[in-house]
């Protein structure tokens, strides 16, 4: 292989740097290869005074990094897979998806709040989240809760929580654990209560489609079961989303059935913003049919009321491209 230096593009948050350094460490085990990080500020890092639902999130945390990748300024990019749009720019592809960390969300209570479980908070408690997916499921769980929108990296959110009168906030467990902040977790929320975001807990390594050398170098970081599970989730999102941010949760996993056969199990939901309408479904099938299963479940959700829910959200101007 020709390269002696490989350049990884990444955002500059503590979590993004942790993720990029993890990939860097794995790649540096290859003989004769130096791996450098290039920090790139994205639109999502610059626009912090507006909710994601008002500005749209398609490419918000990836666009500038992808431009650098296309221009040859970096050789690959490390993203939280949940940040990567389902439609990538021409000439780019996901070269590898890493083994998934815990997909669940967590409730982090205010330091002065003795109630550590999400559903046990006081009447009309204020709960912070920056996600429409979480907002919808929180409202379905406890319609009395007041949902507060929050933006910023993990440490910024923790500081805002400490300075607030909120009961707590909901975050992805993977990021909290990766930054060594697990002691702040009050409860890890079961997926039966709150389905995760598409791709949550996994890293996506983006490459140029014609760069065979980089694809070969990152191949050892790929995790087949995670790739298939998240492929099903992303196919579902591609069919449902239409480029807009809407309340969708999904979790695809590979497990063996009673006969020892490997199966892909995919569960997903579409919800209204106020949580009053939730359409949830599940499919299973051969892992090789991941994208077919994702599209199949999306069609089922649409036919069972999802289409009406999404139509209401878009007509109200709540979801933006």
- Predicted TM-score (pTM) of the model is 0.92
187-189/126-129 β-pairing: unpaired
Give 127-147 pLDDT, tens digit per residue.
999 899 999 999 999 999 999
Distance between CA atoms of residues 26 and 215, nearest Å: 14
H runs (alpha helix) in 59-109: 63-70
Establish whether domains 5-99+202-222 and 105-189 are of one fold.
yes
Q: What was the pLDDT predicted at 1? A: 54
User: Which residues touch 310 (CB under 8 Å, ≥6 apart)?
Assistant: 240, 242, 246, 270, 302, 319
Give 34-91 pLDDT, tens digit per residue.
999 999 987 666 554 445 555 455 666 799 999 999 999 999 999 999 999 999 999 9
Distance between CA atoms of residues 29 and 216, nearest Å: 14
Q: Which is catalytic among the residues 14, 45, 75, 83? A: 83
**CATH class of residue range 105-189:** alpha beta
163 is written with which tokens?
A: 């300075």
Give 254-276 pLDDT, tens digit per residue.
999 889 999 999 999 999 999 99
Asked if residue 206 lies in contact with residue 79, where contact means CB atoms within 8 angstroms, the answer is: yes
Q: Which residue, among 319, 267, 321, has the nearest Cα to 136 in the 3D structure?
A: 319
Q: What was the pLDDT predicted at 244? A: 61
Topology at the third CATH level for domain 230-315: Double Stranded RNA Binding Domain (3.30.160)
What is the band of 114 on the pLDDT scale with cuts at 50, 70, 90? very high
The upper half-sphere exposure of residue 203, i.e. CA atoms within 13 Å in the direction of its Cβ, equals 25
83 is catalytic: yes
Give 296-306 pLDDT, tens digit per residue.
999 999 999 99
Q: What was the pLDDT predicted at 152? A: 87
The CATH-assigned architecture of domain 5-99+202-222 is 3-Layer(aba) Sandwich (3.40)
Give 189-220 pLDDT, tens digit per residue.
999 999 999 999 999 999 999 999 999 999 99
Per-residue pLDDT, averaged over 115-129, amounts to: 97
Domain ranges of the chain: 5-99+202-222, 105-189, 230-315
């Amino acid at each position: 292989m020709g390269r002696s230096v490989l350049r990884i593009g990444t955002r500059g948050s503590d979590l993004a740097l942790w993720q990029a350094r993890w990939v860097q460490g794995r790649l540096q085990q290859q003989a004769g290869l130096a791996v450098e990080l290039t920090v790139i500020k994205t639109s999502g890092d610059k626009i912090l005074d507006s909710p994601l639902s008002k500005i749209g999130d398609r490419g918000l945390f990836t666009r500038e990094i992808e431009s650098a990748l296309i221009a040859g300024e970096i050789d690959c990019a490390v993203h939280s897979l949940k940040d990567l749009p389902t439609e990538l720019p021409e000439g780019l592809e996901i070269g590898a998806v890493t083994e998934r960390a815990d997909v669940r969300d967590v409730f982090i209570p205010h330091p002065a709040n003795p109630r550590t479980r999400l559903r046990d908070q006081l009447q009309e408690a204020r709960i912070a989240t920056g996600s429409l997916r979480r907002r919808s499921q929180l409202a379905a769980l406890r319609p009395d809760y007041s949902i507060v929108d929050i933006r910023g990296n993990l440490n910024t959110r923790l500081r805002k929580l400490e300075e607030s009168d909120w009961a707590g906030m909901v975050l992805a467990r993977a990021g909290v654990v990766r930054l060594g902040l697990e002691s702040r977790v009050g409860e890890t929320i079961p997926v039966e209560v709150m389905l995760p975001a598409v791709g949550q807990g996994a890293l996506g390594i983006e490459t140029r489609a014609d760069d065979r050398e980089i694809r070969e170098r990152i191949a050892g970081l790929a995790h087949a079961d995670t790739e298939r599970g998240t492929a099903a989730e992303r196919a579902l999102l591609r069919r449902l989303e239409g480029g807009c941010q809407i309340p969708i949760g999904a979790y695809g996993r590979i497990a063996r059935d009673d006969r020892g056969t490997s199966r892909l199990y995919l569960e997903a939901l579409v919800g209204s913003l106020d949580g009053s309408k939730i359409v949830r479904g599940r499919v299973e099938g051969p892992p090789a049919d991941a994208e077919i299963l994702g599209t199949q479940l999306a069609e089922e959700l649409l036919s069972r009321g999802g289409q009406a829910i999404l139509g209401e959200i878009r007509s109200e101007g709540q979801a933006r491209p």
